[in-house]
Amino acid sequence: MSEQIREACGVFGVYAPGQPVSNLAYLGLYALQHRGQESAGIAVSDGDTITAVKDMGLVSQVFDERSLASLDGHLAIGHVRYSTTGSSTWRNAQPVYRSVGDVGFALGHNGNLVNATALSADLGMLPGVLTSDSELIGEMLARHYGPEPRSDGRDLEHALLQVLPVLEGAFSLVLMDEAHLFGVRDRHGIRPLVLGRTEGGWVLASETSALDIVGAHFVRDVDPGELVAIDANGVRSIRYAEPDPRLCIFEFVYIARPDTILYGQSVHAARQRMGEELARQAPAPADMVMPVPESGVPAAQGFARASGIPYGDGFVKNRYVGRTFIQPSQRERGSGVRVKLNPIRANIKGKRLAVVDDSIVRGTTTRQIMAVLREAGAAEVHLRVSSPPYRWPCFYGLDTGRRSELLAADMSVGEIAEYLQVDSLAYLELDRLVAATGVTSEAFCDACFTGEYPVPVPDHDTKLALEPAEEPRLPGTVELA
- Average pLDDT of the residues in 475-481: 28
Q: What is the pLDDT of residues 250-298, one digit of tens each?
A: 999 999 999 999 999 999 999 999 999 999 999 999 999 999 998 999 9
C-alpha gyration radius of the chain:
22
Closest to 110 in 3D by CA, of 75, 136, 77, 84 = 84
Distance in angstroms (rounded) separating the CA atoms of residues 394 and 447: 7
Query: Which pLDDT does position 129 carry in this prediction?
Result: 78
| Chain centroid offset of residue 170 CA | 11
Distance in angstroms (rounded) separating the CA atoms of residues 400 and 396: 10
Which fold, 10-246?
A: Glutamine Phosphoribosylpyrophosphate, subunit 1, domain 1 (3.60.20)
Please provide the distance, in angstroms rounded to a whole number, between the alpha carbons at the two ends of the chain: 23
Query: Which pLDDT does position 258 carry in this prediction?
Result: 97
Q: What is the pLDDT of residues 203-225, one digit of tens each?
A: 999 999 999 999 999 999 999 99
Query: Which pLDDT does position 336 carry in this prediction?
Result: 63
> What global pTM score does this model have?
0.91
Q: Which helix (H) or strand (E) holds 480?
A: none
Indicate if the alpha-carbon torsion angle 371, 374, 376, 378 is positive or negative: positive
Q: What is the pLDDT of residues 313-338, one digit of tens each?
A: 999 988 776 544 444 444 544 556 77
Closest to 230 in 3D by CA, of 259, 200, 263 = 200
Span of 89-103, 140-154, 280-294 with lowest mean pLDDT: 89-103
Query: Exposed (0-12), middle (13-18) or buried (19+): which is 91, by Cβ within 10 Å?
Result: exposed
What are the backbone dihedrals phi and psi of residue 461, each rounded to the nearest 5 degrees, phi first? -70, 140
Domain residues of the chain, as ranges? 10-246, 268-318+325-437
What are the backbone dihedrals phi and psi of residue 243, each rounded to the nearest 5 degrees, phi first? -75, 145
SS3 at position 295? coil
Distance in angstroms (rounded) separating the CA atoms of residues 190 and 184: 12
Q: Check pLDDT > 80 for residue 383.
A: yes
Q: Check pLDDT > 50 for residue 163.
A: yes
Query: Which pLDDT does position 480 carry in this prediction?
Result: 24
- Average pLDDT of the residues in 189-208: 97
> How far from 401 is each of 133, 276, 457, 474, CA to CA, in Å?
17, 31, 14, 18
Query: Which pLDDT does position 89 carry in this prediction?
Result: 63
Distance in angstroms (rounded) separating the CA atoms of residues 48 and 102: 10
Query: Which pLDDT does position 329 carry in this prediction?
Result: 46
Beta bridge pairs of residue 194: 205, 221
Q: Check pLDDT > 50 for residue 476.
A: no
Beta bridge pairs of residue 238: 227
- Average pLDDT of the residues in 139-151: 93
Distance in angstroms (rounded) separating the CA atoms of residues 331 and 444: 35
Q: Check pLDDT > 70 for residue 388.
A: yes
**Confidence band (pLDDT; 50, 70, 90) for 130?**
confident
User: Could you say which of 9, 248, 394, 448 is catalytic?
Assistant: 9
Q: Check pLDDT > 90 for residue 85.
A: no
Q: Check pLDDT > 60 for residue 308.
A: yes
Q: Check pLDDT > 50 for residue 481.
A: no
Query: Which pLDDT does position 91 carry in this prediction?
Result: 74
DSSP 147: S
**Confidence band (pLDDT; 50, 70, 90) for 142?**
very high
Are the C-beta atoms of 84 and 54 separated by less than 8 Å?
A: no
Is domain 268-318+325-437 annotated with CATH 3.40.50.2020?
A: yes
28 contacts: CB under 8 Å, gap ≥ 6: 12, 14, 78, 203, 205, 210, 213, 214
What length does the chain have?
Answer: 481
Buried-exposed string 427-451: b where 16+ CB fall within 10 A, e elsewhere: bbebebbbbbbebeeeebbbbbbee
Rounded to the nearest integer, the mean pLDDT of the chain is 90
Q: Check pLDDT > 60 for residue 5.
A: no
**Residue 9: active-site member:** yes
Query: Which pLDDT does position 468 carry in this prediction?
Result: 55
Q: Check pLDDT > 90 for residue 126.
A: no
Distance in angstroms (rounded) separating the CA atoms of residues 349 and 20: 53
Span of 126-130, 137-141, 371-375, 426-430 with lowest mean pLDDT: 126-130
Q: Check pLDDT > 70 for residue 357.
A: yes
Query: Which pLDDT does position 6 carry in this prediction?
Result: 52
Q: Which helix (H) or strand (E) holds 332?
A: helix 330-340
Q: Which residue has the higher pLDDT, 81 or 304?
A: 304
> How far from 360 is each of 1, 69, 131, 313, 324, CA to CA, in Å?
7, 43, 30, 20, 14
